[in-house]
């Protein structure tokens, strides 16, 4: 019996700063015995929600695209890590599009009054990892609000954000004090049995 940890890389930049944070986190989760599944959202080709209200009928998205792979995992993973950079004061469009496409879960809960999780299912855990090029005091505010909405709609308990300001060029995260230690600590907590 092991925990499944779903890692979502939300940057269009392959192996960039936030994907590095994600990899540190997922490696630590695997080290404590978790089954780790990672997707790069850009490669999944996820379209924007078209507000068709199809999910309001049966609780399922009627658009066929890369989200088909994610829906079961978003519903069943024991832990989820969302890693996304700050673009234009919010999370990257790839990450935001994925969050918007979680509308079927919202419809299930609030319109169809169906439970997302079986009765007595163990607590699910989540973490948001991000980098921003600047050090503006509010630079992570918008993205954190969206991440918190994501945890709420998926009935996930967030165990902490890892937010790294002043990290811009590819690879700069390697020099960020304590980022790796914190990411690995988060990974272990996401990956441990509960």
* Least gap, CB of 132 to ligand FMN (angstroms): 3
Q: Which is nearer to ligand FMN, 41 or 67 (CB)?
A: 41
Taking the C-alpha atoms of residue 22 and residue 78, their distance in angstroms, rounded to an integer, is 16
Give residues 168-187 in contact with ligand FMN (rule: CB under 6 A): 168, 170
Q: Is 187 helix (H, G, I), strand (E, B) or coil?
A: helix
* Chain centre distance of CA 145: 13
Contact letters (x/-) for ligand FMN, 124-143, by CB under 6 A? Answer: -------xxxx----x----
Distance from the first to the final alpha carbon of the chain: 11
**Counting contacts by CB under 6 A, is residue 18 touching ligand FMN?**
yes
For 169, phi then psi, to 5°, come to -65, 150
Give residues 37-76 in contact with ligand FMN (rule: CB under 6 A): none
> From start to end of 10-165, where are the E strands?
35-40, 79-83, 86-87, 90-91, 125-131, 157-164
* Least gap, CB of 91 to ligand FMN (angstroms): 10
Q: Which is nearer to ligand FMN, 54 or 142 (CB)?
A: 142
Which residues, 6+ apart, have CB-to-CB distance to 148 below 8 Å?
158
Tokens of 55: 């999910």
Q: Do residues 16 and 129 make contact, with C-beta atoms less than 8 angstroms apart?
A: no
Q: Which is nearer to ligand FMN, 16 or 104 (CB)?
A: 16
Residue nearest to ligand FMN (CB): 16
Taking the C-alpha atoms of residue 145 and residue 172, their distance in angstroms, rounded to an integer, is 25
* Least gap, CB of 186 to ligand FMN (angstroms): 17
Which of 5, 7, 8, 16 contacts ligand FMN by CB under 6 A? 16
Q: Which is nearer to ligand FMN, 81 or 107 (CB)?
A: 81
Site residues for ligand FMN per CB under 6 A: 11, 13, 16-19, 85-89, 131-134, 139, 167-168, 170
């Amino acid at each position: 019996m092991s925990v499944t940890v779903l890692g979502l890389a939300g940057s269009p930049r392959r192996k960039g700063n936030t994907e590095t944070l994600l990899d540190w986190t997922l490696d630590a989760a695997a080290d404590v015995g978790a089954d780790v599944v990672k997707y790069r959202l850009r490669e999944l080709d996820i379209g924007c929600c078209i507000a068709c209200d199809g999910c309001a009928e049966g609780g399922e998205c009627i658009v066929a695209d890369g989200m088909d792979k994610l829906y079961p995992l978003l519903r069943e993973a024991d832990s989820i890590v969302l890693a996304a950079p700050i673009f234009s004061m919010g999370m990257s469009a790839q990450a935001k599009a994925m969050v918007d496409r979680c509308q079927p879960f919202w419809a299930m809960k609030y319109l169809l009054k169906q439970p997302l999780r079986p009765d007595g299912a163990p607590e699910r855990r989540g973490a948001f990892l991000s980098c921003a090029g600047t050090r503006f005091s509010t630079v992570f505010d918008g993205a954190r609000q969206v991440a918190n909405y994501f945890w709420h709609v998926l009935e996930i308990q967030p165990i902490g954000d890892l937010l790294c300001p002043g990290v811009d060029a590819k690879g700069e995260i390697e020099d960020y004090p304590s980022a790796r230690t914190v990411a690995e600590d988060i990974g272990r907590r996401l990956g441990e049995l509960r």
